A and B are shown apart, each in its own frame.
Chain A
Amino acid sequence: MSKNRHTIKQKALQLLFDWLGGAYLIATLHRIVWRVVLIGDSLPAAHSTLIANVPDWAIYALAGVLIAIAASVSGASLGLLVRGELSIGSWQRAAALHWASALLAVTFVTGWVVTNISLVDMFSGERIHAAGRIFSSLLTPHFAILPQALSAIVETVYLAFMATVLALPASLVLSFLSARNLMKDSLWKRFVYTVLRALTNFIRSIEPLVWAVIFTVWVKVGPFPGMLALMVHTISSLVKQYSEQIEDIDPGPVEAIASTGARPLQIVWFGVVPQVAIPFLSFTIYRWDINVRMATVIGLVGGGGIGTMLNQYQMLAQWHEVGTIVLVIALVVWVMDYVSARIREALV
């Protein structure tokens, strides 16, 4: 019964794979390779159709179905290939490999077209001249703004520090509640675990830059929204790192403490905490280091500190000053990186 369901699921997945692969191949061949590369259209508008009154996507989908059926009947299937079920040396495997290469090729062509790659734009005489102008300015920094840049980067470092420290309590509590090995023995614990995992994964998938935009609308522009953005991102990242570390512990001491009749909090404190304390400290220091780098980027959208200053001079096209700021950022990032690596080394 369950074995049967398993094979049905596998078969369905295989068909889905071949169908999507087929439809994608036909779609890109038509839209990109034929229309753009060979005919020379600009990216075709959606209403242009292969057959009157039938939307293109329906034709692609249908072609995909035909390809999936052909693949299934012949055995030259992408789905079977990725599952490693085509025997080496068979013609089906060779055909499926060709098909996979074709997918890779059209994806590369599409990518080239979509990103507007143009060697002319990069290396024509006029462009080379522009490149020379910005590099020569960047490489001859004006140090008049150095004091201002230094105070801005100090602001950035403190901002990153506050984001890390304020994220700590929530990260610690949530990480224990997000560790599978601690949350498996009752239904509601598994529920909390699942919800927290989903929530932190979701929050982490939103870039800190986007959080910064959100918080600059919420509270007004400046270092505060930048700090909030980093704090939110730090919580979601630390919860992941911490909880994975908790899941990695030796279960032996936990079992030993539990066998003495200890209470749940005592089991965690004596069985888990000693095993994760040092790695936690190391992750936290590394986060601060990462946050300094992120804080400079977040400053670009109004999150305060050196990033905001960089943004102002860049908009004024004062490239000598921009050069100074970049230099200061590079220096501080390098020092932070070096110091945090040394501290983390000393911890193990």
Chain B
Amino acid sequence: MKLLELRRLSKVYPNGTRALDSVTLSVDRGEFIAVIGLSGSGKSTLLRCINRLIEPTDGTILFDGSDVTHITGEQLRRYRSRIGMIFQQFNLVGRYSVLSNVLMGALGSVGTFDSIVGRYPPALRQMALRNLEIVGIADKAHVRADSLSGGQQQRVAIARALMQEPQLLLADEPVASLDPATSHSVMRYLGYINRELGMTVVCNLHFLSLVREYSTRAVALKAGVVVFDGSPAEIDQEWFRHIYGEDAVEVEIR
């Protein structure tokens, strides 16, 4: 059942910052894992080490049973295409249409030249439209991506990730730039993808209320070290202060 396993993973940036310190973590298929921790605790670094956008300095990454820590070139690209990712800033190409942005999720399986001249197989186009339907914005397929609201842009980003038919979806604070109502809407889509499409999700989150509502498991980082790994329900006042510091006060998002 194991999909991903990190063994004693560390990352030290060239300037000496130890962003991850011997992180050991195992992710089962179908889980919705929330990664929490103060800003600067290493959440983004952890996610980017998983799909190797950042090179870990030490440790091992096992994905679907094989060691992917040091793969390069074509192998690395194939590995990345099996993992979707969405971001706090959505990271769409604003000047392109929503549909074009969604199709970009399939770049790993389309030839360089074909993608540059916009020659995508009809099956992929249909899939793109289907994915836009899943996130509820099929009607916006032909408008410019940067004309959408933040919540809509994040849903386009989700549709783009779905094009990869990924086994794992990484989400780096996907709702941190959104207002509370929109946050819930985006989180509900992630929950739907997790439950109905059976996709494993690892999601960095700021608000514990969201963690409790949507995740099946919480992992807390503190200065690059895993200090909590368990059910979100177990995070009581004491744990909260341990993770976020003595002076922290919990804020709810409804």
Contacts and interface: CB of A to CB of B under 8 A. Distances in A.
B87 A257 contact: no
Contact of A255 (B91, B95, B104, B164): B91
B116 A269 contact: yes
A253 B80 CA distance: 15
A253 B91 contact: yes
Nearest to B109: A261
Contacts of B33: none
A263 B93 contact: no
Contacts of B37: none
Interface string B81-101: 111110101111111100000
Contact of A252 (B80, B87, B108, B163): B87
Interface string B48-80: 000101000000000000000000000001111
A256 interface: yes
A42 interface: no
A10 interface: no
A323 to B, nearest CB: 49
A266 B53 contact: no
B93 A262 contact: no
Contact of A259 (B85, B95, B106, B116): B85
Interface string A222-244: 00000000000000000000000
Contact of A256 (B95, B112, B157): B157
Contacts of A261: 77-82, 107-108, 164
Given A252-B87, A255-B53, A266-B115, A260 B93 contact: no
Interface residues of B, number: 34
Contacts of B217: none
A87 B6 CA distance: 54
Give the interface SS of chain A, mostly helix, strand, loop or mixed: helix
A270 interface: yes
B93 A271 contact: yes
Nearest to B110: A266
Q: Which of B90, B115, B164 has the most CB of A within 10 A?
A: B115
B77 A262 contact: yes
A250 B161 CA distance: 20
B105 interface: yes
B160 interface: yes
A262 B107 contact: yes
A255 B47 CA distance: 12
A267 to B, nearest CB: 8
A274 interface: yes
B164 A252 contact: no
A260 B53 contact: no
A103 interface: no
A258 interface: yes
B53 A252 contact: no
Contacts of A315: none
B93 A270 contact: yes
Interface in B16-60: 51, 53
A287 B106 CA distance: 38
B116 A274 contact: no
Contacts of B96: 274
10 nearest CB pairs, A to B: A261-B81, A261-B108, A256-B91, A252-B91, A262-B107, A261-B80, A259-B85, A261-B77, A274-B95, A266-B107
